[in-house]
Structure 1
Amino acid sequence: MYESFGLFIGGGWRSRGGGGVIEVEDPATASVIGSVPSAGVAEVEEAIDLAQAALKTWRATPGWTRADALHAIADRMVARAEEAARIITLETGKPLAQSRREWGLSTDQFRWYAEEARRIYGRIVESRAPGGRIEVLHEPVGVVAAFTAWNFPAVLVARKVAPALAAGCSVIVRPSSETPGSAMIIVDCVREAGLPAGVVSLVAGSVSATYEPLVASPVVRKITLTGSTAVGQRMIRDSAATVKRVSMELGGNAPLVVFDDADFDKLLDLVVPTKYANAGQVCVSPDRFYIHESLYDRFAEEFARRVAALKLGHGLEETSQMGPIINLRRLEAIEGVVADAQKRGARLLAGGKRPQNGGGYFFEPTVLKDVPDDAQALAEENFGPIAAITPFSRPDEVYERANAGDFGLAAYVFTQSAARAREAVASIESGMVGVNSFALAAAEAPFGGIKLSGMGREGGSEGIHDFLNVKLSQVAF
């Protein structure tokens, strides 16, 4: 499966690395589907040197030319869409339909930032100096190190590589060891598009061989991460030694607030596939269901009925609606969340266990009712197929509960009142709020959180500015 890939350094693939090999599992079968080379420190340092050398050429390349290159990458991605979707499904377990959608969203990033490359504007400020002029310019931040998670192994790479290239930066990708092939096919599309050698590199491997050299290097001027809050906190601390720019898309524990005037049928039609997409392993997945007391029992009953009907299966089966958890460690953690909720008095309405057919890391889509606020299912990010449902009576009460905790990535509100929607958006502490919609992730929209959910934005016209330095020039003649 990985025969054509490996480490990507100096414009070509290498089938061997100084760190040995990484075996990759299919989580739907718990069997090894292939192996990729693991980089050693020497290969990572070589990639850094080549990225620094390539930066001189790439940053001087006109924005219109960079735009053409990004469109060429997107063209290659379109041509390889089905191949990519299959790799994503084999590595993550998610159904093919979801993998195809992810690849489409990844392609969108390159299309969007191709156009942003043409529109890196400065501005002129009136100067106090006689005959003077203040010019505000934007320049590429430099060499970028991009660290990505396994749950969206293609789009998370695209969100980092596309704006970095558009801004004129060179970039070194360090993908998750659980899903390296999904990143590798994007990098192979970069290769096919003919970008200069060293502008994009890929190194997979251990923390000591990859993370430490990239974060410690003074050549690397920006770190961008999608990962856990704990990893992000460490990365921020480690980056301080060389005062790197950092962008962090970290954990979430999204509240869903359903008011008494919500469109009930629309809500159910949207929330079931959204909650259990990628087996709930989504940082913006609705986890905490706050349902108005007037709808509470009705919603819980109908929601659980629909959830129980979802079809578990291997992602390559077109009829599968939910795949497995990524690995055994996460599967056991999900079991612990359910057990904790039941211990604290929550009622299990659907799922709650591994299916009996065996094989892989499957866990049934789960619905918990009457969940207390101190249960893990509400108090912490469960990152799995668990919907924790609890009632509320007053808006001020639900806003306070929704804002409890340290995360602030995404939140959702369902109401047919425009005034209530505006009140909720203003009252909920979150980087993103969906009103009667769960569609937050798009190339044209700034994605990101506040509090312990991170800093910086990916997507939208805002996203490219995280890869640009601001330079002021005071000109007087």
Structure 2
Amino acid sequence: MRLPLPEKAEAFLKRVGPLYLGGTFRKAATGEVFPVLNPATGEVLARVARGGKEDVDQAVALARKALEGSWGRTSPDERGRLLFRLSELIEAHADTLAALEALNVGKPYAEARTADIPLVAQHFRYFAGWATKWGGEVLPVSFPGEYLAYTRREPVGVVGAITPWNFPLLIASWKLAPALAVGCTVILKPSELTPLTALYLAELMEEAGFPKGTVSVIPGYGEEAGAALVAHPGVDKISFTGSVEVGKGILKQAAETLKRVTLELGGKSPVILLEDADPKRVLKGALFASFFNQGEVCAAGSRLFVPKSKLDYFLENLVTGAQAIQQGHPLDPRTQMGPLISREHMERVLGYVQRGLEEGATLLTGGEPNPGAGPGFFVKPTIFLAEDGQTIAREEIFGPVLSVLPYEDPEEVARRANATPYGLAAGIFGQDMRRAIRLAHALKAGTVWINGYLLLDAASPWGGYKESGIGREMGRYALEHYTEVKSVWLNLT
């Protein structure tokens, strides 16, 4: 049983193809296209323009023109009104956007409809309010004489936003909304695996009335369109979400032109169960932390620290819970977990499973494809009893693979949890709030959840310590990365 595809989504899949260049949908400069697949079936959903260097050059020229012209002259109130209008259009098209996201990413439609798309609308609405509230201040200077000294917050300029395939529209909103709120122009390069909702968003931005050149959407490959965006001297800032390896490469390349750079990268997030944790809440939370969105989450709780005294109970119930997860087509309302994004990624995840077995980890459930769920790239929810030094407990797998790590000494948990190059997020489950808060303060992570997991809101900052990134998305903290601070002095004598 599958939900019917919304008429607007069906119509969009028939017309989608051109890239969006500063207010005009057109073919790529080379005329080339690439296929976009449905990971649940392996079938082609659409063929999309393959953007490259020449398209990026044109987008930057249009963005610069808009920055110095129509968009640059747009008042803060008008910027806020346009962002708010866009949030309304996103809500009006929520069913269509959720269906496209589900088909293209492989995530269950219910997750896209109740989590991703409402959060996208929330981000544009939240930053619409900041458009009229983010400014400078008068400074109490003490230099001899009489002066009026104040600061201005000015847009950093043309922003290149490079987004991943796991939450395509949501992460695009993390970058677009604050950048537009403060007056930047943006060139969005979505993942070549999942460009559909970004192109649909471009249509909604047209309907909302954003001036020409304010936003471009250039689907294409990272080594072509993405690299051209990072190298372009007319791009003032890069905001990237993706792998640590690519993030490091972007940072090196951006140094050539001294671009501003923010990076939201990988993670190997710990979930720590304290001795007094509520068993029912813990089981539900641990399964959600690890297997939500097929485990294709940078903050997936893929290391579960369990007290040895409770290990047998939790292993038995975790395995039972994982085996009960219903896999299937994203548009089937019974589906709780969909396919992985591609065959290549499925093979990568299964390679980690094999590595775990070779290194002596104990496979408790899963660890193999699930052809019964469909012809696509399905992998069963997988649980290992592992040790800290094993590869599956150290490296980011980005799939439905959970490593359970027993512990005896509560004082050692923070040290073990921090023994990783990552520091994106962490979870703690327990009833003694004093202990939980002390542990939260000891963890080297940008976000720590207590008795919950993957709690996100536009007002709360998101980003990581160590190799999990540089800078923050969301909240007022994001605005700092899209503005320059100018100090102005006026001699009053």
Query: Taking structure 2 as the reference length, what is the TM-score of the superposition?
Result: 0.94
Q: Map of 1:399-418 to 2, 5 A cutoff? A: 399-418=414-433
**1:226 equivalent among 238, 241, 247:** 241
Task: Report the Cα offset of residue 211 of structure 1.
Answer: 2.2
Structure 1 2/178 Cα, relative in aligned 2: closer, same or farther at 3 Å? farther
Task: Report the Cα offset of residue 2 of structure 1.
Answer: 5.3
Q: Residue 106 of structure 1 aligns to which amino acid in structure 2?
A: V
**1:142 equivalent among 140, 157, 167:** 157
Counterpart secondary structure, 1:83: helix
**Residue aligning to 1:170:** 185
CA contact (8 A) 1:60 1:168 kept: no
> Structure 1 residue 281 and structure 2 residue 289: aligned?
no
Task: Report the Cα offset of residue 98 of structure 1.
Answer: 1.2
> Structure 1 residue 26 and structure 2 residue 38: aligned?
yes
Task: Report the Cα offset of residue 67 of structure 1.
Answer: 0.4
**Residue aligning to 1:91:** 104
Counterpart secondary structure, 2:57: helix
CA contact (8 A) 2:271 2:286 kept: no
105-114 or 51-60, which deviates more: 51-60
**Residue aligning to 1:347:** 362
130-139 or 265-274, which deviates more: 265-274
CA contact (8 A) 1:6 1:16 kept: yes
Measure, in 1, the Cα distance between the counterparts of 2:394 and 2:289. 20
> Structure 1 residue 271 and structure 2 residue 283: aligned?
no
CA contact (8 A) 1:2 1:35 kept: no
Task: Report the Cα offset of residue 34 of structure 1.
Answer: 1.3
Query: Taking structure 1 as the reference length, what is the TM-score of the superposition?
Result: 0.97
**1:183 equivalent among 193, 198, 216:** 198
**Residue aligning to 1:104:** 118
Structure 1 385/191 Cα, relative in aligned 2: closer, same or farther at 3 Å? same
Measure, in 1, the Cα distance between the counterparts of 2:131 and 2:94. 24
Task: Report the Cα offset of residue 4 of structure 1.
Answer: 4.2
**Residue aligning to 1:12:** 24
Measure, in 1, the Cα distance between the counterparts of 2:451 and 2:133. 32
Counterpart secondary structure, 1:313: coil
**Residue aligning to 1:81:** 94
Q: Residue 103 of structure 1 aligns to which amino acid in structure 2?
A: I
Measure, in 2, the Cα distance between the counterparts of 1:420 and 1:81. 41
Task: Report the Cα offset of residue 17 of structure 1.
Answer: 4.0
Measure, in 1, the Cα distance between the counterparts of 2:55 and 2:384. 48
47-56 or 215-224, which deviates more: 215-224
**Residue aligning to 2:483:** 468
Detail structure 1 runs of 4+ shifted over 6 Å in the superposition: none
**Residue aligning to 1:62:** 75
Measure, in 2, the Cα distance between the counterparts of 1:58 and 1:2. 32
Measure, in 1, the Cα distance between the counterparts of 2:371 and 2:247. 37
**Residue aligning to 2:141:** 127
192-201 or 328-337, which deviates more: 328-337
**Residue aligning to 2:7:** none
Measure, in 2, the Cα distance between the counterparts of 1:40 and 1:383. 28
Structure 1 residues not aligned, in runs of 5+: none
Measure, in 2, the Cα distance between the counterparts of 1:40 and 1:50. 16
Task: Report the Cα offset of residue 65 of structure 1.
Answer: 1.1
Task: Report the Cα offset of residue 271 of structure 1.
Answer: 2.6
1:152-193 per-residue CA deviation (whole Å, 9 max, x = no partner) reads 011011111111100100000000000010211122211110
CA contact (8 A) 1:18 1:41 kept: no
Counterpart secondary structure, 1:294: helix
CA contact (8 A) 2:28 2:52 kept: no
Task: Report the Cα offset of residue 293 of structure 1.
Answer: 1.4
Measure, in 2, the Cα distance between the counterparts of 1:2 and 1:218. 36
**Residue aligning to 2:446:** 431
Q: Map of 1:253-402 to 2, 5 A cutoff? A: 253-357=268-372, 359-369=375-385, 371-402=386-417
113-122 or 355-364, which deviates more: 355-364
**Residue aligning to 2:55:** 43
Q: Residue 459 of structure 1 aligns to which amino acid in structure 2?
A: M
CA contact (8 A) 1:27 1:93 kept: yes
CA contact (8 A) 1:59 1:140 kept: no
Measure, in 2, the Cα distance between the counterparts of 1:176 and 1:68. 29
Task: Report the Cα offset of residue 5 of structure 1.
Answer: 5.0
Counterpart secondary structure, 1:252: coil
CA contact (8 A) 1:263 1:416 kept: yes
Task: Report the Cα offset of residue 426 of structure 1.
Answer: 1.5
Measure, in 2, the Cα distance between the counterparts of 1:3 and 1:84. 15
Task: Report the Cα offset of residue 213 of structure 1.
Answer: 2.5
Measure, in 1, the Cα distance between the counterparts of 2:398 and 2:220. 24
Identity rate of aligned residues, in percent? Answer: 36
1:71-102 per-residue CA deviation (whole Å, 9 max, x = no partner) reads 01111111111111111011111100111121
> Structure 1 residue 116 and structure 2 residue 126: aligned?
no
CA contact (8 A) 2:159 2:239 kept: yes
Measure, in 1, the Cα distance between the counterparts of 2:308 and 2:148. 62
Measure, in 2, the Cα distance between the counterparts of 1:227 and 1:178. 13
341-350 or 358-367, which deviates more: 341-350
Q: Residue 20 of structure 2 aligns to which amino acid in structure 1?
A: F
181-190 or 70-79, which deviates more: 181-190
Q: Residue 113 of structure 1 aligns to which amino acid in structure 2?
A: F
Structure 2 residues not aligned, in runs of 5+: 1-12
Measure, in 2, the Cα distance between the counterparts of 1:244 and 1:270. 40
CA contact (8 A) 1:19 1:205 kept: no
1:5-31 per-residue CA deviation (whole Å, 9 max, x = no partner) reads 521113121145415001011111111
1:288-321 per-residue CA deviation (whole Å, 9 max, x = no partner) reads 0111112111111111101101101010101100
Counterpart secondary structure, 2:326: coil
328-337 or 451-460, which deviates more: 328-337
Q: Residue 77 of structure 1 aligns to which amino acid in structure 2?
A: I
How many residue pairs get aligned? The number is 476
Structure 1 429/115 Cα, relative in aligned 2: closer, same or farther at 3 Å? same
Measure, in 2, the Cα distance between the counterparts of 1:201 and 1:230. 26
CA contact (8 A) 2:29 2:54 kept: no
Q: Residue 217 of structure 2 aligns to which amino acid in structure 1?
A: L
Measure, in 1, the Cα distance between the counterparts of 2:80 and 2:180. 9
Task: Report the Cα offset of residue 394 of structure 1.
Answer: 1.3
Q: Residue 116 of structure 1 aligns to which amino acid in structure 2?
A: W
